Amino acid sequence: MASSLTTFTDEAKIALDTLSGRATGLFSPSLRLGVTGLSRAGKTVFISAFVHNLIHGGRLPLFSAQKSGRIARAFLEEQPDDAVPRFQYEDHVAALVNDRLWPDSTRAISELRLTIEYESASAWSRMFSSGRLSVDIVDYPGEWLLDLPLLGKSYVDFSREAFEMAVLPVRADLSQEWRSLSAAVDQNADADEMTARRLAESFAAYLKACKLDERALSTLPPGRFLMPGDLEGSPALTFAPLPGLSERRARSGSLQAMMERRYEAYKTYVVKPFFREHITRLDRQIVVIDALQALNAGPGAMADLERAVTEILACFRPGRSNFLTDFFSRRIDRILVAATKADHLHHESHDRLQAIVRRLADRAVARANFTGADVDVVALAAVRATSEGTVKQGRETLPVIIGTPLKGEKINGETFDGRTETAIFPGDLPEKIDAVFDVSGPDHRQNPGHRQSNEDPAIRFVRFRPPKLERTAEGVTLSLPHIRLDRALQFLIGDHLA
């Protein structure tokens, strides 16, 4: 009796929660905005700048609610999900503004609720809208998203594809050690924990090596091998693909059977809950990419970035798999693909960068056969670390960018101390964008993996410290400078404040 009573109250409570959730939703609408991208792409900096500019009334001429003075205030509120870590906004902003340091890498999911009080532009909407919008911002690793395709793949498929990717010229040398280790094991031998661990560690080391700066390759699944979160060392993360598997059922008790079971556990306990609890509840999505890094590494890295964006977009395609159709409770209607760090280029190149991202996103949309949401692109800098100027060199006047390179950064043999401002000529992006995608071009054929360090990259890429913020006479720091962040805001939330 007692237990059925609990069941009843639990159920009633869930029903009530849902009802009251709906009711509050009516009076104070909320919008769930997903922010994703591969590691180091710029998610944390983007969210910090997004929130900071709204709270502090930053200069946002392309964000119409702000421009027309209709935003009364924006402030942080308690987030709706108790079990998700909070996005540590205050820490990130303190690092950026006070210490002029970039925030630490975050590597897991986090959430923040920003509430905006505004006045609608039309008298009609003013009568019906609450004048409040809560934006729930969810920051999560793109690596985790790239796991979705695993749901439709058996362990044998996963293994075969992993080996196919590993022997491609861009990865062959990096995967060498793992492949030889795999070749030496017998998948039919008795399952052995140490063998499983050695293979898993070697496989993870190969996946990590692909991400190193000079390769700049995008990620291969399983995403948690790179971003384990709290699952590090669990059996669901201790498996690896095996070579040359047939479709025949693995012998029970064999190494293959063990690996297969763990692969299935990874899907059940890691991939599915993540999608159900987080991805299917999103309304809008921004995918942050580091296109400059890929451009610098050459067409192979660009092709790889395009593959990752294609797979990411495919995850948001409604009705993709039975699993997702069952769970999508909301529908994502807008997706923004944003190339950040545009402040590494002179403004003359910003439109070119945007054109490159447009091409990449268009191809990804076509390849993912994606419909159902508006996809837009932007080249932006969430935090602008540089200013612009010109330098005379002989008769020529060169456009330069001026900033404080991070301690230890090097240009032409000079190493910076993290305090000295310097002007650098960043280089131009090519006018004809075909070349940057052309994996059959001479640039790529000579060197399919990556540029040699002695080759001149497209852009001279130095990492700068965050900017020094101006203070007013009253000692108030002004908002964080940016490039086209307002355009991103307008696309992502502008229509909800109209």
Query: Closest approach of Cβ 43 to Mg ion, in Å?
Result: 5
Query: Closest approach of Cβ 492 to Mg ion, in Å?
Result: 18
Lookup result for tokens 């047939």: 246
Instruction: Report d(CA 32, CA 279) in Å as an integer.
Output: 10
Q: Which of 48, 106, 238, 285 binds Mg ion (CB under 5 A)?
A: 106
Query: Closest approach of Cβ 162 to ligand GTP, in Å?
Result: 23
For 38, the token pair is 């591969």
Instruction: Report d(CA 221, CA 151) in Å as an integer.
Output: 11
Identify what 50 binds: Mg ion, ligand GTP, none; CB under 5 to 8 Å per kind: none
Angle at 229 between CA 223 and CA 234, to 5 degrees: 85
- Give 378's strand partners: 338
Q: Which residue, 109 or 335, is less far from ligand GTP as judged by CB?
A: 109
Residue 232's alpha-carbon distances to 31, 138, 197, in angstroms, are 32, 22, 12
For 360, the token pair is 């990449």
Q: Annotate 109-149 with DSSP letters as a single string.
A: -EEEEEEEEE--SSHHHHHH--SEEEEEEEE--HHHHTTGG
- Give 190's strand partners: 254
Q: Which of 150, 271, 381, 436 binds ligand GTP (CB under 6 A)?
A: 381
CB neighbours of residue 125 within 10 Å: 13
Instruction: Report d(CA 498, CA 495) in Å as an integer.
Output: 5
Q: Which of 174, 308, 382, 489 binds ligand GTP (CB under 6 A)?
A: 382
Q: Which residue, 95 or 375, is less far from Mg ion as judged by CB?
A: 95
Stretch that binds Mg ion, among 42-50, 130-138, 143-151, 212-220 (CB under 5 A): 42-50
Residues binding ligand GTP: number (CB under 6 A) = 24
According to the binding rule CB under 6 A, does residue 86 interact with ligand GTP?
Answer: no
Query: Closest approach of Cβ 1 to ligand GTP, in Å?
Result: 51
Stretch that binds ligand GTP, among 18-26, 121-129, 171-179, 341-349 (CB under 6 A): 341-349
According to the binding rule CB under 6 A, does residue 102 interact with ligand GTP?
Answer: yes
- What is the residue type of 386? T
Stretch that binds ligand GTP, among 190-198, 214-222, 349-357, 379-387 (CB under 6 A): 379-387
According to the binding rule CB under 6 A, does residue 105 interact with ligand GTP?
Answer: yes
Task: Write the CB contacts of 135 (distance below 8 Å, at least 6 apart in sequence).
Answer: 30, 31, 33, 113, 114, 115, 116, 493
Q: Which of 30, 44, 53, 66 binds Mg ion (CB under 5 A)?
A: 44
According to the binding rule CB under 6 A, does residue 340 interact with ligand GTP?
Answer: yes
For 75, the token pair is 């402030």
Collapsed DSSP state (helix, strand, coil) of residue 252: coil
Q: Does residue 479 contact residue 52 with C-beta atoms inside 8 Å? A: yes
Q: Does residue 159 contact residue 54 with C-beta atoms inside 8 Å? A: no
Q: Which residue, 59 or 153, is less far from ligand GTP as judged by CB?
A: 59
- Binders of ligand GTP among 11-70, rule CB under 6 A? 37, 39-45
According to the binding rule CB under 6 A, does residue 106 interact with ligand GTP?
Answer: yes
Q: State the chain's maximal CA–CA distance in angstroms.
A: 92
Identify what 216 binds: ligand GTP, Mg ion, none; CB under 5 to 8 Å per kind: none
Query: Closest approach of Cβ 243 to ligand GTP, in Å?
Result: 31
Lookup result for tokens 């009516």: 26
Binding mask 297-336 for ligand GTP (x = CB under 6 A): ----------------------------------------
Instruction: Report d(CA 100, CA 454) in Å as an integer.
Output: 32
According to the binding rule CB under 6 A, does residue 463 interact with ligand GTP?
Answer: yes
Q: Which residue, 211 or 276, is less far from ligand GTP as judged by CB?
A: 211
Q: Which of 52, 341, 346, 450 binds ligand GTP (CB under 6 A)?
A: 341
According to the binding rule CB under 5 A, does residue 110 interact with Mg ion?
Answer: no
Q: Which residue, 105 or 477, is less far from ligand GTP as judged by CB?
A: 105
Instruction: Report d(CA 7, CA 300) in Å as an integer.
Output: 56
Stretch that binds ligand GTP, among 64-72, 319-327, 377-385, 448-456 (CB under 6 A): 377-385
- Binders of ligand GTP among 262-301, rule CB under 6 A? none
Helices vs strands, H then E, count in the chain: 18, 12
What are the residues binding Mg ion (CB under 5 A)?
Answer: 43-44, 106
